[in-house]
Amino acid sequence: MKEFEKLEKKLGLDFKNKKLLMQAFVHRSYLNENPSFELEHNERLEFLGDAVMELIVTENLYKKHPEKAEGELTNWRAALVNAKMLTSVAEGLGFNDFLLLSRGETKETGKARAYILANTFEALVGALYLDSGYDITAKFLKKYLLVNLAEIIKTGSYKDSKSHFQELAQEKAGITPSYKVAKESGPDHEKKFIVGIFLQDEMVAEGEGSSKQEAEEAAATEALKVKKWK
C-alpha cells in the first residue's frame, strides 16, 4: 500500500478507503495470475468513472462557456474525454508505475497499454467519486483534465473525424449520423471492434479499433472519404 500512498501524495488526494484506490489499478489479467488477490478488477469502477467524468466535464463546459452552442461544447467534451487524451494524462501522472498487470501485459506497449491507461484513469475517477464524492472528483478533473481545454481550442484538435462528419452530415443531408457495433472479437484485455457509421438506414462505412470509440473515429474518417466531403 505504500506505493499507492506515494500516488495519493502526488495527486493531492486522500482516500478514506485505500483499497478503492488500489482496485482502480487492478487489470483483469492480473487476477488471472493471482486468483486469490483480495480485490476485484477495475472494470466496474471504469464503468462508473466514465459516466461521472462525462457529467463533470459537461457541467463545467456548460457553466464556463455560456456563449457556446451545444455542437461546439460536444466537440470540446469529446476531445477531453477520448482515449487519446486520457492515456496522455495517465502517462503524465505516472500511472504506468502503479498498474497491476499480468506478466504478459506488463511486456505489452503501444495501443494495448494506451487502452489500459485510459481505462485506469476512468476507474480512478469512479473510485474517487465513491470515496470522496462529487466535489472532490470535480476538483481533481479540473486540475488534471479540464486544464487541457485551452490547448485543445488553440490547436483545433477537437475537430476530430467524428465531429467533422457529424457537422457535414447535418449540413448536407440534415441527418445526425449513428454508430452500431458490427463485430466484437478477442479477449477482454485485447478487444477488437468493427463499427458501422449510418445515415439513417444507409451504412456509409466501417472502422476498426481496440475500443468502440477508436472504431467509431476510424469509421468517420472512412466515411468522409466515401462521401468525398472536405
Active site residue ranges: 50, 122
Question: Which residues, 6+ apart, have CB-to-CB distance to 175 below 8 Å?
Answer: 169, 199, 200
- Provide the grid cell at 57: 466535464
Tell me the three-class secondary structure of 167-224, residue by residue: HHHHHHHCCCCEEEEEEEECCHHHCEEEEEEEECCEEEEEEEECCHHHHHHHHHHHHH
Sorted by sequence, the CB contacts under 8 Å of residue 97 that are 6+ apart come out as 3
What secondary structure does DSSP assign to 112-144, as a single string? Answer: HHHHHHHHHHHHHHHHHHHHH-HHHHHHHHHHH
Alpha-carbon distance of 210 to 186, in angstroms, equals: 10
Tell me the residue type at 61: L
Backbone φ and ψ for 111, nearest 5 degrees, come out as -60, -40
Which three three-digit cell numbers place residue 32?
488471472
